[in-house]
Amino acid sequence: MVLAVTAGLAAAMTACAGPAAETGRPAPAVTTTVSPLPSTSSAAPSVAQSAPETPSSSASVPSKTTVAPTSKAAAPTGRVVVIDPGHNGGNSTHTAQINKQVPAGRGRTKPCNTTGTATQTGYPEHAFTWDLAVRVRELLTARGIKVVMTRPDNAGVGPCVDKRAAIGNESGAAAVVSLHADGSTAAGAHGFHLAYSSPPLNAAQGEPSLRLARALRDKMVAGGLATSTYAGTEGLSPRDDLAGLNLTERPTVLVECGNMRDAAEAAVLSSPAGRQRYAEAIANGILGFLG
Ligand code: ZN
């Protein structure tokens, strides 16, 4: 998140989920579906193409870790988790597409997406979130949980933030976790924080989302990860400006894993061992929440 989108940085380095996006320009007529899906298998096409399973991945979930696309009633709630790896690898080369305004909840619109941030050495947030998501998926599927990803790979563009929220809603997920890393340029800023919708716009955004945030926070702290020095309180950050949180109808938390602009934290975020550590803490948090 963070407003600190330093103007001097390359345009591609916009910070994460920050409110930078809050322009008031009305959405151009369009906007692909936020509406609940009608029946049929047309549901969530992006979900259907979930990434190829890694060979080592548990066999409990076949290559399509998809889910009950048709209706909420049909969704096996309780054992479905939606993981949303923030941004996408093609965003920086598709600026018109990602700048398109989409509904963001609370009567606002926001750009479809942003490019995300990057470490000082150039490791991009979208690559981090994708790799982390795959690791979390691996850990959860090994525990028999169906994981739905909001994008199938780290190439291309999309889906937009409103569509990502719709994927969570349509899957009937027991929990939705959006993965990000931050780009604060404040001196010494580091640590993770967990954003949740506040004030809540529906029941799922209330106690269940806060409980999910606390479960994640507790396991991340238990995993040796530090809470943010610059955002939220004890790792928890109520927000009213994030589309994915405003539009969700499921327990949902956005994880800002750390600050990619902080050299020490960037070293951890950039390393496979570091990402595995985050993945285990996040998977444990989700499992703790599911009970
Ligand atoms: Zn982000």
How far apart are alpha carbons 50 and 259 in whole angstroms? 28
Assigned domain for 16 exists:
no
Output the domain CATH number for residue 163.
3.40.630.40
How far apart are alpha carbons 42 and 25 in whole angstroms? 30
Domain tally, the chain: 1
Q: Can you read off the two tokens belonging to residue 40?
A: 């049929």
Assigned domain for 25 exists:
no
H helices within the chain, ranges in order?
45-48, 95-99, 125-141, 161-171, 207-222, 243-246, 263-270, 272-290
**Torsional class of 188: left (φ above 0), alpha (ψ -120 to 50), beta (otherwise):** left
Assigned domain for 11 exists:
no
Assigned domain for 132 exists:
yes
How far apart are alpha carbons 184 and 179 in whole angstroms? 16
CA of 86 to the centre of ligand 1 (A): 5
CA of 37 to the centre of ligand 1 (A): 27
Assigned domain for 227 exists:
yes
In this prediction, residues 146-159 reach a mean pLDDT of 96
Assigned domain for 23 exists:
no
Can you give the pTM of this predicted structure? 0.77
CA of 116 to the centre of ligand 1 (A): 5
Assigned domain for 262 exists:
yes
Q: Which helix (H) or strand (E) holds 146?
A: strand 146-149
Domain that includes residue 176, residue range: 32-290
Active site members:
256
How buried is 82 (Cβ within 10 angstroms: 0-12 exposed, 13-18 middle, 19+ buried)?
Answer: buried
pLDDT above 90 as % of the chain: 73
- 3-class secondary structure, 134: helix
Assigned domain for 17 exists:
no
Segment 247-258, tens digit of pLDDT: 999 999 999 999
Segment 80-107, tens digit of pLDDT: 999 999 999 999 999 999 999 999 999 9
